[in-house]
Amino acid sequence: MTIGFIGLGIMGRPMAKNLIKAGYQLAVYDKFAKFDDLTALGAAGGSSNRDIAAKSDVIITMLPNSPHVKEAVLGQEGVIESIKPGTILVDMSSIAPAASQEVGAALKEKGVAFLDAPVSGGEPKAIDGTLAIMVGGDKAVFEKVKPILEKMGSSVILVGDVGSGNVTKLANQIIVALNIAAVSEAFVLATKAGVNPQAVFDAIKGGLAGSTVMNAKVPMILDGNFKPGFRIELHIKDLQNALDTAHNLGAPIPLTASVMETLQGLKTDGYGQNDHSAIVRFYEKLAGVEVRK
11, 20, 170, 266: which one binds ligand NAD (CB under 6 A): 11
Give the span between the Cα atoms of 246 and 166, in whole angstroms: 13
Query: By CB under 6 A, which span of 66-74, 142-150, 182-190, 261-269 interacts with ligand NAD?
Result: 66-74
Is 34 a residue of the active site?
no
Nearer to ligand NAD, 33 or 171 (CB): 33
Nearest approach, Cβ of 69 to ligand NAD (angstroms)? 8
Q: Establish if 246 lies at the interface with ligand NAD (CB under 6 A).
A: no
Give the span between the Cα atoms of 24 and 246, in whole angstroms: 39
User: Nearest to residue 155, comparing CAs of 126, 185, 134, 186?
Assistant: 134
Q: Establish if 117 lies at the interface with ligand NAD (CB under 6 A).
A: no
* DSSP per-residue string spanning 119-181: EESHHHHHHHT-EEEEEES-HHHHHHHHHHHTTTEEEEEEEESTTHHHHHHHHHHHHHHHHHH
123, 128, 150, 290: which one binds ligand NAD (CB under 6 A): 123
Q: Establish if 91 lies at the interface with ligand NAD (CB under 6 A).
A: no
Q: Establish if 94 lies at the interface with ligand NAD (CB under 6 A).
A: yes
Give the span between the Cα atoms of 60 and 101, in whole angstroms: 16
User: Please, are residues 69 and 102 in contact by the beta-carbon 8 Å criterion?
Assistant: no
Q: Establish if 64 lies at the interface with ligand NAD (CB under 6 A).
A: yes
Q: Establish if 122 lies at the interface with ligand NAD (CB under 6 A).
A: yes
Residue nearest ligand NAD, CB atom distance: 9
> Max alpha carbon distance in the chain (Å)?
65
Nearer to ligand NAD, 145 or 190 (CB): 145
Nearest approach, Cβ of 29 to ligand NAD (angstroms)? 6
Q: Establish if 6 lies at the interface with ligand NAD (CB under 6 A).
A: yes
Task: Write the single-letter amino acid at 196.
Answer: N
16, 19, 26, 62: which one binds ligand NAD (CB under 6 A): 62
71, 77, 128, 185: which one binds ligand NAD (CB under 6 A): 71
Give the span between the Cα atoms of 72 and 235, in whole angstroms: 22
User: Please, are residues 160 and 139 in contact by the beta-carbon 8 Å criterion?
Assistant: no
Q: Establish if 234 lies at the interface with ligand NAD (CB under 6 A).
A: yes
| Active-site position among 17, 55, 125, 169 | 169
Q: Establish if 46 lies at the interface with ligand NAD (CB under 6 A).
A: no
Beta 25-29 vs 2-6: how paired, if at all? parallel
Burial of 167 (0-12, 13-18, 19+ CB in 10 A): buried
Catalytic center residues = 169
Enumerate binding residues for ligand NAD (CB under 6 A): 6-12, 30-33, 49, 62-64, 68, 71-72, 93-94, 119-120, 122-123, 230, 234
